[in-house]
Amino acid sequence: MTDNPAVLTVVGIGADGWPGLTGTATAALTGAEVIFGSSRQLALLPESVAAELHPWPTPLVPALRGLLESRRGRRIAVLASGDPMFHGIGATLIRLVGAASVRVIPSPSSVSLAAARLGWPLPDVDVLSLVSAPVEELHPLIHPGRKILILSAGARTPAAVAALLTSRGYADSVVTVLSQLGGPAEELIAGTAANLGSADFDPLNVVAVVCSTGADVSTRPSRPAAPWAGSPKSSGTDAGHSAGGHSAGGHSAGGRMDGGQADGGHADARHLESGHADVGCLDGGHADGGHPDFAHADDGHADGGRSADGLSDGRNLDVSHADGGRQDAGHFDGGRSVGGHSDGGHPDAGHLDGGHLDSGHMDSGHTDSGLSGGGRHLDGGRLDGGLPDGGRSGGGRSGGGRSGGGNGDPVLVGPRPLVPGLSDSVYASDGQLTKREVRAVTLALLGPQPGELLWDIGAGSGSIAIEWMRTHRDCRAIAIESSAERVERIVRNAAALGVPKLRVVEGRAPGALAGLPAPDVVFVGGGLTRDGVVEAALAALPAGGRLVANAVTLESEAVLAAWYARLGGELTRIAVNRASPVGGFTGWRAMMPVTIWSVIRP
């Protein structure tokens, strides 16, 4: 224990308790006057420790500073599970009082112990904490043959993981539940996701997954058979082929393996013990002790003529590019256009309000419901379920074909690539969906960087915000959408595609933008013809911030042309053609061309 009472000492302790601690750790706890920890952790201390023992209150974060201030001048120690700096309370305390005021004495983390038991090199493993996060965050990590270690929220997490794997078509993935790691009651139970069931697992567990090859489902429609051909070939473009499904750590399905005591401690406060959080995981503002009270704050589309049946894989992409380089100095005034919109090109403010056919969303006649101001705010993680509502796609015709993100139920099984441009079929949509080719180009122009916040204005089905967040776990987004029905659909799409922390605001821009956290990047997918939308987006951006806007109508194109004339940037036009049956032959079916303006705020 340090002699300086101004320094907090954080000691990681495992399931093996006091015997598993180093001499440095036991000396720090013996010399402490006050010790904080979960009830389970405090019960591991011997009677020889004379300090005052204080269980953490619930909720912890709001009370933490006051607890420390009230014991100022005394030697304080804090117990954490395993490694306090791995999703642990050590990181929270450092953010609160500064690194110079915190001394950390770690034990092995639960992930280190699990990897050691299974013989998995940690660089080859994806790690996910579900302590205070929805199980849907597992979606982006599910790929054929991949290994995943999941920090559990409690006894129900293994069954939730198994159910999600099964729903994605990975029912034969091997799932191993490692309980009480490092302690005398250590136990490993292995099985497939399909047969793991809802066994009575110890709440102090880590879940290990070896993903199978997954369902043999392509998310891209296959070309119909030609008259001279035999069975039609599936394109197989999105299907994974790597082998998987072998037993994790050598444990056969359904087998049990009782482990002895290990030198390391069990880690990372992942578990609930008699209603108390193991704390130690308030990293990033989340309570990794399972307290709902700490839930994340989540600072958290041309549609086009897609044939409703039998699309082939043929694509034709024409891109017209206007190089803008001009950035008229002095023509940007606080984010407001100088001189208004271009003469004759811009309709009245309400002209296309409601059915904003702007951008890559071809919005089939939606009204903006008259909302202004902040409107409703939804966090994807707060909605139960997580499956999109299928059967609502194709709301209206546009560009000679049926629009929609999957003509019927969205495709929920099979592999999903990490690069932008997911198949349209994975989205539930009423037709307002940025098609995959346009979406991929748009995300490339938006240029997601870890930690950046995106505003997706006129979010439609949420595809731009969702795929922005899928590029990196630290990418954040706020989707702004005026239709209540679409807001609910965005929330479900976000959960089903692995980004349940997407924040969704129901309301009409520009009013709904007031009070939102300042963005780093803005995408305008709807409402371009409404007065003040582009001005508000530009004004919210910092210098160097990026704005991308898509248009499909002449009126919205005129708005983009006017802004391009004032601020420069880049103007790009994309025309996509998809091969489609024409009687017994195949022809090109054109989608509506999309004009994209991208600019960096000076």
3-class secondary structure per residue, 49-83? CCCEEEECCCCCHHHHHHHHHHCCCCCEEEEEECC
Mean of the pLDDT values across residues 445-464? Answer: 97
What is the per-residue pLDDT for 3?
60
Identical fold between 8-108 and 424-601? no
Q: Provide the residue ranges of all domains of the chain, joining segments of one domain with +.
A: 8-108, 111-211, 424-601
Give the pLDDT score at 229: 37
Contact 596, 319 (CB under 8 A): no
Phi and psi at 123, nearest 5°, equal: -65, -20
Does the structure show a pLDDT above 60 at 200?
yes
Report the pLDDT value the prediction gives residue 221, as an integer from 0 to 100.
Answer: 40
Q: Is the model's pLDDT at 15 over the cut of 80?
A: yes
Q: In CATH, what number does 8-108 get?
A: 3.40.1010.10
- Among 57-66, 133-142, 393-402, the range of highest mean pLDDT: 133-142
- Token digits for 27? 């000396």
Is the pLDDT at 71 greater than 80? The verdict is yes
**Distance (Å, whole) CA 225 – CA 497:** 31
Flag whether pLDDT at 344 surpasses 80.
no
**DSSP H or E stretch at residue 599:** strand 594-600
Q: Are 494 and 500 in contact (CB under 8 A)?
A: yes
Q: What is the DSSP letter of 382?
A: G
Name beta bridge partners: 398.
Answer: 401
3-class DSSP string for 307-367: CCCCCCCCEEEEEEEEECCCCCCCCCECCECCCCCCCCCCCCCCCCCCCCCECCCCCCCCC
Greater model confidence, 412 or 307: 412
Higher pLDDT, 291 or 212: 212
Radius of gyration of the chain (CA): 27
Map tokens 């091969």 to a residue: 579
Bridge partners, 523 (sequence order)? 456, 548
**Beta-carbon neighbour count of residue 245 at 10 Å?**
17
Give the model's pLDDT for residue 1.
Answer: 53
What single DSSP character describes residue 306? B
pLDDT at residue 216 above 80?
Answer: no
- Report how far apart, in Å, the C-alpha atoms of 422 and of each of 336, 433, 443, 558 are: 35, 12, 12, 30
Contact status, residue 93 vs residue 283, Cβ threshold 8 Å: no
According to CATH, what is the number of the domain 111-211? 3.30.950.10
Average confidence score pLDDT of the chain? 76
Which residue shows structure tokens 């379920």? Answer: 385
- Rounded to whole angstroms, the Cα distance separating 563 from 585 reads 44
Intra-chain end-to-end CA distance of the chain, in Å: 53
pLDDT tens, position by position, 172-198: 999 999 999 999 999 999 999 999 877
Q: Give the range among 81-95, 390-404, 411-425 with minimum mean pLDDT.
A: 390-404
Letter for the amino acid at 52?
A: E
CB 596 within 8 A of CB 571: yes
CA distance 481 to 459: 5
Higher pLDDT, 547 or 291: 547
The token pair that represents 6 in the structure block: 């101004």
Q: What CATH number should be reported for the domain whose range is 424-601?
A: 3.40.50.150
